Chain A
Amino acid sequence: MNFLQTILILAAAFLAVFGEAAFPLLRHWLGAQVDLLPGLMVYTALNADIVTVSLLAVLGGMWFDALSANPPGVSILPLFAIGFVIYLQRELILRELPFAQFILGAAASAVAPALCVLLLLTGGQEPLLGWGSLWQWLVMTAGGAVATPLLFEFFHWCQHALGYQPRTETSFRPDREIRRGRL
């Protein structure tokens, strides 16, 4: 499942970036576009290996920056920082609880754009910022929080549909079978 899982995660990141660029409906309604990559990184950090985390950070960040006016590579480090921290702490996180997924999604979706803007400002860029950015930040955080448990559900469904199912253990053991005589 590992290879398939990596492919699925990267395909989902590719489609997520495309969807964010091609369907600006949320931007019309709420004034901000929700970024799905931080939520996807939360799932990856909790369920995949460090190579997949790195691949998602590099490729996801590059795809996002290629379609935006960001300098290329600026989204890589925020995504990787989120994934790396969660990956190191993942034994302590109740990853199956939707509430934990929601909180982690919110935190990741809040941290990723903040780090990205910080990197842009450090690099001498002038992103479009103002009081309205706070609203956009809230929308991104809330959107990412809601999307993360849904992403978990989606990948669990994919895992069930495409992966090998574990062999079910039965309580029957031939060596413990009681063979009865005639009477």
Chain B
Amino acid sequence: MLKKKHYLALGVVVLAALLIFSLPPRATSRLKLAVSSLFLPLFGLLNTAQQLPVTAADTVMPRSALLREIGELQRENQQLNIQMRQAAAMAQENDQLHALLGWQRQMPWKLKLANVVMRDPANWWRTVQIDLGSRDGLRENLPVLTPDGLIGRVISVGLTRSQVVLLGDPYCRVSALVENPAHDIGLITASGPLDMSLVELTYLSGNAVLKPGQNVVTSGEGGIYPRGIPIGQIVDSQTVEFGLYTEARVKLSADLGALEQVWVLLNPQLN
């Protein structure tokens, strides 16, 4: 039944697969970036197609609506200016107090906006790709967030694109702190494959008192995420392993299913 040609094809494919498997990690990531760059023209085309309706809508917007919008923006700008002056004064006061107490001065976050260009086609990973890369100053393990809260970290960086692993993926573990009186610290780990809004918070102490609705933020431990980035709220909790530790389900603040634009934190100041 098997002809020589079939044996040859079988051998070549198995050999190719084994060769790719056995590549060192650095070569593997380069190969992946090289192959995925073949899709760049298609992603560019998709981006242009998505912006066409917006451009068309912009061209037909009436002048009166534009003037009204400008007026609203001017008023908002004035309010923001006032708030900015207040914030600057508060920051100055804060700096003075920090200096008096000898605390380390907290650097303002340097954020960079990125567009989510694609999602992982495999159902067993939870990653997205963004349109920023090493030429924009990105490197591995930078935290990625939205205005609602943390969403994950950068795991691989190409020249113009990067891959972000999202919360809930087995390779995205975050040390998290519960804002309760005891400030319990646990680890955000993988959740179920279907519900993207829930993650597990494990390895909390066995006598942790958790209540639904309590906020969960990054603890600053682990060397990747700075302290205080919102993650979500406690949904429910239970003690496991005969009371050895407590596990809780956390509803994420950020909607991972509807990510379009995200912020990459370029200078995470760690504790």
Whether A22 and B118, one on each chain, are in contact in the complex, defined by CB atoms closer than 8 angstroms, is yes
Which one of A1-9, A73-81, A100-108, A173-181 is at the B interface? A73-81
Known: A18-B42, A76-B16. A128 touches B124 (CB 8 A): yes
Cβ of A27 under 8 Å from chain B: yes
Cβ of B123 under 8 Å from chain A: yes
B193 / chain A contacts, CB cutoff of 8 Å: 31, 128-130, 132-133, 136
Closest residue of chain A to B1 (Cβ to Cβ) is: A88
Known: A53-B9, A66-B32. A18 touches B39 (CB 8 A): yes
Which one of B61-69, B165-173, B179-187 is at the A interface? B165-173
Closest residue of chain B to A61 (Cβ to Cβ) is: B17
Known: A35-B121, A69-B120. A54 touches B126 (CB 8 A): no
Per-residue contact bits, chain B 1-44, to A (CB 8 Å; 1 contact, 0 not): 11001100110111011001101000010011101101100110
Q: Tell me which residues from 186 to 203 in chain B have a Cβ below 8 Å from any Cβ of chain A.
A: 190-195
Whether A132 and B13, one on each chain, are in contact in the complex, defined by CB atoms closer than 8 angstroms, is no
Whether A72 and B32, one on each chain, are in contact in the complex, defined by CB atoms closer than 8 angstroms, is yes
Interface residues on chain B, number (Cβ under 8 Å): 51
A116 / chain B contacts, CB cutoff of 8 Å: 122
Per-residue contact bits, chain A 1-25, to B (CB 8 Å; 1 contact, 0 not): 0000000000000110110111010
Known: A31-B194, A71-B21. A128 touches B126 (CB 8 A): yes
Cβ of A51 under 8 Å from chain B: yes
B155 / chain A contacts, CB cutoff of 8 Å: 69
B126 / chain A contacts, CB cutoff of 8 Å: 128
Cβ of B102 under 8 Å from chain A: no
